[in-house]
Every structure is written in structure tokens, then in C-alpha cells.
């Protein structure tokens, strides 16, 4: 961790000096470090991919996902660790319900002891934001959507012949005009987001979490679907591919999750629980199950983690089911 | 204290805010670079809100009140119909922020209204519509002519026909009397958007397309005049210049071409520039003056394509990118160059030797072509939506008028 901080400081200090001295503006710095590399990479790629800007976005998305894979995995571990210590946090909340300051201190102490960073889950999302903005502007400027963008493109492109020769870029990909919003793309983004949310939602018996889960299961896809309708579909293409790759990673790590069609036996055994909360795309979270119940309920999922005490109510219900089955078998 | 539940519940809000930032971060939107054209003492100029103004220079100078905000005799303001509304997220699509941004300069010609020939001004809007306005500020046509895409270049008028390129990649011919598509002339398709202003000469329409090709088509039949379009290595956005049977134009491949107007074969190519050519070139006394986005003005021998000896084979360096087409006033070449997004410099360059005669700084970017008439040069600046009149010889500012404040 100290090493990471040193690296971040080493990167940030010169940037702050440059900004403070007025040598570069924030926009200029953004263009230099993010927009221009993304844009030129896309333009160069499209040259090698039959002049297709859409294919270039596909390849760029895969590259970005590969580059951010360590972050995604780190987020996975952070989320898992955070889930694992939830029972301990609940205990602390009960113990120090009347002393907020002490609760805060003890919680931070617990995070330190367990090696958990509360911001570990949010960091990958924040890292993706500049990439979104960079790609968004790259699509807008690259395709010269407004005449001002086309004229401004000359400023952003490197003067290498293989890049310059690609202008103007082909804005058509499959059925899409990459510079305009697309209704079908909106539906695809929303659907893939829903699948991802459903897959990554950990089961829970907590009614508050269930209601939050239901809200987010629909809110996130609808929100992204709306943005995909109105944003240039080049950016929606990036979102769709990101979702599909996230679904693949999610499947690889923890199976179909809450999306799994419940088997008859599992229904009989009462092992299906409601999703608890819906993480953002790319989040890979462990179910919020506890103890033996958790192990049983997530038997089909790989890498699921559950700790702490089990719910007595559910245990009783499960035992009742078992007793009924025994009675039926005897009857036969 | 950190609470994972709280973080999850606020996540959609955070993402919504981030997406809103994302949406607004890149939304430059089509704002326009309306042009100006001067015919004698009359100036037609577009404003940033899509209106068109007729200004009378002599009336303004006679009143010794060039900067007046009230309309002088003979002046009018024409406003287009409201265009479609747009979402703030639909960057670049028609209707965003503006009801009908203007890009190309207006063109002046004649139109027949009720069997009477009248002077008319023609202008294309980003909404894809072309308008014809009488000298009194009234619409000539019942309905504007509509193309299949946005109009970014100017229009050309010759022999009762108006030619305009559109972002749908087609060149349209319009009967100026009726405002309808010209009979026997099918819209000519190209492989990409047309943003350059066409030029009509001797019954041939010359124009470039972003499909990297340059076209010469018959003004009557709409058929390609050459065996095939002339291919360059980049998109073509500049208005061509036709002189002595040769067509001159620049391309996004940073090269400047001279092509035989009759055959479509290359006469020469100039390849010393370091960036695109966007502005129209000018011709004076055997020399072509071509401005590049590499900040330089090149004086090129019209016959051989080499840098002219009159300028000691050197380009004239300016402070920034030259996006607007220059103008010639007497023996002065007037060029507008971009200092940054908020400032521009206007240079007066001696055509004889390439030396700077004067310069003037404006607090605005200049993208529209400059226009010259009666010893004056007219500049329509974008940021302050103001038209300036300079004396071409001295660079002294005669008057300016903020178009948005005209009563």
C-alpha cells in the first residue's frame, strides 16, 4: 500500500505543479493524457480493421477490460472481504449503538485488522469514469458529429500518416450510426445490464435489502438504457461490450448467481433466497449468506464466501421442509 | 462511518451524476460559424442564433454611427422558423442548443417572384433547409427546400439554379424560382458528407466530399464530367477555386492539389504543409494563396506548384490554425488565425513580398470566411456574435455591430 501511495504521489505532484503553474490547463491535460491517446489509438486501429471505427471500439473495449482486470479482481476481493466482515460490523453497531464516535473508531480498527479498504469497491468505478469521458469525446470528435468537432479533430490527431489517412472515419457499424443514439442499442444495454445485475446480486433474507435490490435491479438498466438511447451509439457499444465481458467474468467466478433457474429440488429444499443488493457492472460480489445455510444455498456458485451466524428462522423453515419430506417418503 | 448498504443505495445517484458530467463534458454541439458576404455597400451576415442580417454600410458611415444598434434604412433581420428541439445529450444532432445554426456564408443571386426578377439571398441551415429571402427580408419560396442532412457548407447560385451539398452525402440542385428540386437533375451521391461549398463555372459544378474525392458534374444533367472523381488521401472540406481552367483545392491529407478542370487529371500537388487545408485558396497575379491548419499561409506558383519566389519561397507564419478563408483587399491578403479558443488575430499581409502590414487581435474565434468589398474586409466573429469592418490597407477598425443586440 505505501508503494502504491508513493507511485500515486509521484504521478500527482508533477501534474499539480503543471496545473498550478498554468503551463497546461485541466482540459489541455485531459486531452493530452486521455483523449488524444484514446482517439489516436481508435483511429489507428480502425485503419487495421478494414476502416471500421466500430471494430476499433470493440478492440479498445477488450483492451481496457484487460488492463483494468487487476482492478476488477481487486474490487472482487474488497467486496468479498467487506461481505465477510459484515457480521462483525453488525456486532459493533449493536455494541456501540449509542456512541457513534467509538463505533467509527472501532469500525476503522476492524477494517485495518482485516486489511479491508472501504473504498476498494468504488475505486474501479471511479477509474472507469475518465475512460468513459475520454471515449465519449473520442467518439464525438472522431466521427466529427458536429462540424466544430470535425474541425477540432485536426488538433487532436497525431501527425502520423497512418492516422491522418483514416480521416474521415466510417461512422457505420452493423446497423448503427455510431454518432447517433439507437433504440435497439438502448434495449441491448439495458438488457445486458439487467442480466449482470441479476447475476451479481447476492441472496439475502433482509427485507430492506430485498427492496433495495429490486429497485436497483430495474433502475440501473433503465438509466443506462436511457443514456444509450440518447448518447452516441459508439459509447453504447462500449457499454454493451463491457457488460457482456463482465457477465462472462461473473459467470466464470460465481456462475449464474441469482439468474439461475431454480431446480425443483432446490425449491423443495427452500434454498432459493432473494437477492440482497445489486452491485455496479463489473462488481463481483459474494452472497450475503452465513454459515452452513450459505454454503448450502450457494453450492452451485464458485468462490462464494459466507461467514458468521446463520438465520434461526430460515433454519427452522428448512428443518420443517426436511421433516415433511421424510413423512412423504414414509407414506410411499 | 462507512456503510456498505449506504454506498449501494447511493450508487445509482452517483452514477447518474457521473453520467451527467460525462454528457456535458463533450457537448460542444453545433453552434455554427455563420458567414458574411459583402456586395458593394450591402453586407449580408448570419448570426449565431440562426438569423440573417442585411446591413447598409453607407447608411452607417453617413450617420457617423457605425456602432449603432438600431437598424438603418434598408436594413432588416430575417429569422428562420424554429427547428426541432434536441436533447442535451444528443451532441451534434440537429436541433441541439440552436434552432438552426448557420455555417456557410449566404449567396446573393436573382429569383423570379410572380414573373418579376428580384434580388435574393440564399442560405443553408444546419437543419438541412435552404432559404431564399428577398431584398426586403421576405421569404421567396412558400416552403424552404429540404435536403436529407445538415448543411455545413455554403450554397452556389448560377443560371436560376442553386447548388448545395448536404451531410447526407448528396449534392442538390434547386430551381431558385420555385424552391423545388431542379428537373432532370437527380441529387448526386458521394460516399460521405459534403461540407465544402460548391463552385459553378462554365456549366460545371465543382465540389469535394469527405469521401476523399473531388467531383466535377454537369450543372444541367447532374452527370459526372470527368471519367472518375479525383481521389486524394483525405477528406475535402475546402471550397475549390477555379482559375484559368484549373481547379485548386486542399485536402485533409495536408496536400494542396491543382487539377485540370476539363479532364480531372492532376496538374501538380503541393505537399509541404503540416496539417489539413480547410480554408478556400485565393488567386492573385499568378500566385495561389493557400492557408493551412499548420498555422502557415503558403504562396504557391499557380503554374508549377512551388513556393513562390515573391515571398522568398517562405510561408507566412501566423499564431495559430487558419480555419476561415482569407480575403484580398487591394494588394493586401487578410488572414484570420486562431490564438486560442477565445482570441483570434487578423493579419494584413503584403501580397508583393509576404511581409506583415498590420495585425489586429479580436477576443473571439473566427471560423467563417472573410469577405472583402469596397476596400474593406468584413469579419464575423463567433464568440461575441459581432461583425467587424476593417480598412483593408491599414487594418483600422471602421465599425462593429454586435448582432445579438440589434433592435
Range ranked top by mean pLDDT from A47-61, A246-260, A271-285, A288-302: A47-61
Query: Do the Cβ atoms of B157 and B122 come closer than 8 Å?
Result: yes
Q: What is the pLDDT of residue A143?
A: 78
Average pLDDT over residues A199-219: 68
pLDDT of A308: 36
Between A118, A167, A230, which is nearest B234 by CB? A167
- 407 residues of chain B, pLDDT tens digit each: 445 455 555 565 666 666 665 555 555 568 888 888 888 888 899 988 888 999 887 777 666 555 666 777 788 888 876 655 444 444 544 444 445 788 988 999 888 777 788 889 999 999 899 999 988 888 899 899 999 999 999 999 998 899 999 999 999 999 998 999 999 999 999 998 999 999 999 999 999 999 999 999 999 999 999 999 999 988 999 999 999 999 999 999 899 999 999 999 999 999 999 889 999 999 999 999 999 999 999 999 999 999 999 998 899 999 999 999 999 999 999 999 988 878 899 999 999 999 999 999 998 888 889 999 889 999 988 878 888 989 999 999 888 888 877 76
At residue B33's C-alpha, the angle toward residues B30 and B38, to 5°, is: 155
**Mind giving me the DSSP string for B86-102?**
--TT-TTSTTSSSSS-B
Is any Cβ of chain A less than 8 angstroms from the Cβ of B100?
no
Instruction: Give how many domains chain A has, as a whole number.
Output: 1
A62-87 pLDDT per residue, tens: 888 888 788 777 776 776 677 777 77
Across A57-63, average pLDDT: 89
All cell numbers assigned to B365? 474565434
The reply to whether A71 falls in a domain is yes
Nearest to A137 among B1, B26, B126 (CB): B26
Interface TM-score (ipTM) > 0.85: no
Cross-strand partners of B113: B116
Nearest CA-CA distance, residue A264 and chain B, Å: 32
pLDDT in tens, A83-122: 777 778 788 888 888 888 888 888 888 888 877 766 655 6
pLDDT over threshold 50, residue A311: no
Chain B contact probe: residue of A147, A202, A207, A280 with most B CBs at under 10 A: A147
| Cβ-defined contact of A136 to B22 (cutoff 8 Å) | yes
pLDDT for residue A290: 33
Distance from CA of A148 to the nearest CA of B (A): 7
Which pLDDT score, from 0 to 100, does residue B173 have? 97
CA-wise closest residue to B109 among B117, B101, B98: B117
Residue keyed to cell 434495449: A187
Structural domain includes residue A5: no
Class of domain B33-189: mainly beta
Q: Where are the domains of chain B?
A: 33-189, 285-291+315-407
- Interface membership of B288 toward A (CB under 8 Å): no
Q: How confident is the model at residue A332 (pLDDT cuts 50, 70, 90)?
A: very low
Question: Residue A281: pLDDT above 90?
Answer: no
Tell me which of B91, B105, B322 to substitute to probe the interface with A (most A C-beta atoms closer than 10 Å): B91
Name the residue with higher pLDDT: A61 or B208.
Answer: B208
Residue A245 domain boundaries: 24-331
Predicted local distance difference test score (pLDDT) of residue A203: 56
- Shortest Cα distance, chain A CAs vs residue B236, angstroms: 9
The answer to whether residue B115 neighbours chain A at the CB level (below 8 Å) is: no
Rounded to a whole number of angstroms, the distance from the CA of A35 to the nearest CA of chain B is 11
Partner residue facing A212 (CB), from B9, B23, B93: B9
Asked if the Cβ–Cβ distance from A150 to B237 is below 8 Å, we say yes
What CATH number belongs to B285-291+315-407?
A: 2.40.10.480
Of the candidates A164, A208, A280, which has its C-beta nearest B253's C-beta?
A164
Dihedral sign, Cα of residue B10, residue B12, residue B17, residue B21: positive
- Pick B91's closest partner by Cβ from A132, A140, A151: A140
Residues A196-213 have a mean pLDDT of 68
- Answer yes or no: do B276 and A149 touch at CB < 8 A: no
The percentage of residues in chain A with a pLDDT greater than 70, rounded to a whole number, is: 63
Give yes or no for B393 touching A (CB within 8 A).
Answer: no
Q: What is the pLDDT of residue B10?
A: 57
d(CA B279, CA B105): 13
Alpha carbon of residue B348 to chain centroid: 20
Flag whether A85 is in a domain.
yes
Q: Using the beta-carbon criterion (under 8 Å), do B235 and A100 form an inter-chain contact?
A: no
Q: Which residues contact A42 (CB under 8 A, 6 or more apart)?
A: A53, A56, A57, A60, A138, A142
Q: Which of B3, B4, B101, B278 to mutate to test the interface with A (most CBs of A within 10 A)?
A: B4
Q: What cell was used for A134?
A: 475520454
Strands B296-301 and B316-317: antiparallel
The whole-number pLDDT of residue B228 equals 96
**pTM higher than 0.80, yes or no?**
no
> Could you tell me the pLDDT band of residue A18, with boundaries at 50, 70 and 90?
low
Q: How far apart are CA B106 and CA B132, in angstroms?
A: 10
Amino acid at each position: 500500500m505505501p508503494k502504491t501511495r508513493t507511485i500515486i504521489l509521484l504521478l500527482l505532484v508533477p501534474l499539480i505543479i503543471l496545473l498550478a503553474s498554468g503551463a497546461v490547463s485541466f482540459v489541455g491535460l485531459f486531452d493530452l493524457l486521455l483523449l488524444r491517446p484514446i482517439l489516436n489509438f481508435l483511429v489507428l486501429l480502425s485503419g487495421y480493421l478494414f476502416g471500421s471505427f466500430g471494430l476499433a471500439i470493440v478492440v479498445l473495449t477488450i483492451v481496457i477490460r484487460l488492463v483494468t482486470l487487476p482492478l476488477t479482481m481487486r474490487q472482487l476481493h474488497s467486496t468479498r472481504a467487506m461481505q465477510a466482515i459484515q457480521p462483525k460490523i453488525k456486532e459493533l453497531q449493536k455494541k456501540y449503538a449509542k456512541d457513534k464516535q467509538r463505533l467509527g473508531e472501532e469500525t476503522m480498527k476492524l477494517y485495518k485488522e482485516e486489511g479491508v479498504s472501504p473504498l476498494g469497491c468504488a475505486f474501479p468505478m471511479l477509474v472507469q469514469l475518465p475512460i468513459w469521458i475520454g471515449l465519449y469525446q473520442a467518439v464525438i470528435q472522431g466521427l466529427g458529429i458536429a462540424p466544430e468537432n470535425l474541425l477540432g479533430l485536426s488538433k487532436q490527431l497525431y501527425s502520423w500518416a497512418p492516422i491522418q489517412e483514416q480521416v474521415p472515419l466510417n461512422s457505420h457499424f452493423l446497423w448503427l450510426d455510431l454518432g447517433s443514439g439507437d433504440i435497439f442499442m438502448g434495449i441491448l444495454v439495458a438488457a445486458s445490464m439487467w442480466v449482470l445485475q441479476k447475476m451479481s446480486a447476492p441472496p439475502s433474507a433482509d427485507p430492506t435489502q430485498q427492496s433495495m435490490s429490486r429497485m436497483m435491479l430495474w433502475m440501473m438498466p433503465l438509466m443506462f438504457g436511457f443514456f444509450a438511447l440518447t448518447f452516441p451509439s459508439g459509447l453504447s457499444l462500449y457499454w454493451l461490450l463491457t457488460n457482456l465481458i463482465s457477465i462472462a467474468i461473473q459467470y466464470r467466478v460465481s456462475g449464474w448467481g441469482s439468474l439461475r433457474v431454480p431446480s425443483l429440488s432446490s425449491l423443495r429444499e427452500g434454498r432459493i433466497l432473494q437477492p440482497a443488493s445489486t452491485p455496479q457492472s463489473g462488481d463481483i460480489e459474494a452472497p450475503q449468506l452465513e454459515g452452513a445455510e450459505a454454503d448450502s444455498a450457494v453450492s452451485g456458485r464458485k468462490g462464494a464466501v459466507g461467514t458468521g451466524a446463520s438465520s434461526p428462522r430460515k433454519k427452522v423453515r428448512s428443518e420443517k421442509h426436511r421433516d415433511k419430506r421424510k413423512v412423504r417418503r414414509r407414506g410411499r | 462511518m462507512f456503510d456498505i448498504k449506504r454506498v449501494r443505495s447511493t450508487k445509482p445517484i452517483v452514477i447518474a451524476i457521473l453520467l451527467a458530467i460525462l454528457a456535458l463534458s463533450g457537448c460542444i454541439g453545433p453552434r455554427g460559424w455563420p458567414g458574411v458576404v459583402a456586395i458593394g455597400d450591402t453586407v449580408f451576415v448570419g448570426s449565431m442564433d440562426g438569423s440573417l442580417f442585411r446591413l447598409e454600410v453607407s447608411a452607417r458611415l453617413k450617420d457617423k454611427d457605425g456602432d449603432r444598434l438600431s437598424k438603418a434604412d434598408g436594413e432588416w433581420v430575417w429569422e428562420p422558423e424554429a427547428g426541432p428541439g434536441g436533447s442535451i445529450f444528443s451532441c451534434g444532432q440537429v436541433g441541439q442548443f440552436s434552432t438552426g445554426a448557420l455555417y456557410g456564408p449566404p449567396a446573393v443571386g436573382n429569383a423570379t417572384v410572380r414573373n418579376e426578377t428580384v434580388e435574393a439571398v440564399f442560405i443553408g441551415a444546419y437543419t438541412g433547409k435552404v432559404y431564399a429571402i428577398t431584398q426586403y427580408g421576405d421569404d421567396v419560396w412558400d416552403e424552404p427546400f429540404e435536403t436529407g442532412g445538415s448543411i455545413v457548407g455554403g450554397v452556389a447560385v448560377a443560371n436560376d439554379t442553386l447548388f448545395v451539398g448536404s451531410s447526407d452525402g448528396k449534392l442538390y440542385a434547386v430551381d431558385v424560382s420555385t424552391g423545388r428540386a431542379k428537373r432532370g437533375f437527380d441529387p448526386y451521391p458521394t460516399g460521405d458528407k459534403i461540407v465544402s461549398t460548391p463552385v459553378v463555372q462554365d456549366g460545371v459544378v465543382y465540389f469535394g466530399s469527405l469521401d476523399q474525392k473531388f467531383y466535377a458534374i454537369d450543372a444541367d444533367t447532374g452527370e459526372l464530367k470527368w471519367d472518375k472523381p479525383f481521389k486524394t488521401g483525405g477528406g475535402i472540406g475546402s471550397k475549390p477555386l477555379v482559375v484559368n481552367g484549373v481547379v485548386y483545392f486542399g485536402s485533409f491529407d495536408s496536400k494542396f492539389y491543382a487539377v485540370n478542370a476539363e479532364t480531372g487529371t492532376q496538374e501538380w500537388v503541393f505537399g509541404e504543409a503540416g496539417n489539413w487545408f480547410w480554408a478556400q485558396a485565393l488567386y492573385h497575379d499568378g500566385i495561389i494563396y493557400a492557408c493551412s491548419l499548420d498555422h502557415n499561409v503558403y504562396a504557391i506558383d499557380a503554374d508549377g506548384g512551388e513556393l513562390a519566389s515573391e515571398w522568398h519561397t517562405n510561408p507566412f507564419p501566423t499564431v495559430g490554425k487558419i480555419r476561415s478563408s482569407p480575403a484580398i483587399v487591394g494588394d493586401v491578403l487578410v488572414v484570420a488565425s486562431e490564438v486560442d479558443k477565445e482570441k483570434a488575430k487578423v493579419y494584413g499581409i503584403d501580397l508583393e513580398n509576404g511581409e506583415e502590414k498590420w495585425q489586429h487581435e479580436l477576443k473571439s474565434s473566427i471560423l467563417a470566411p472573410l469577405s472583402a468589398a469596397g476596400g474593406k474586409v468584413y469579419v464575423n466573429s463567433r464568440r461575441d456574435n459581432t461583425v467587424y469592418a476593417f480598412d483593408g490597407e491599414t487594418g483600422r477598425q471602421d465599425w462593429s455591430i454586435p448582432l445579438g443586440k440589434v433592435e
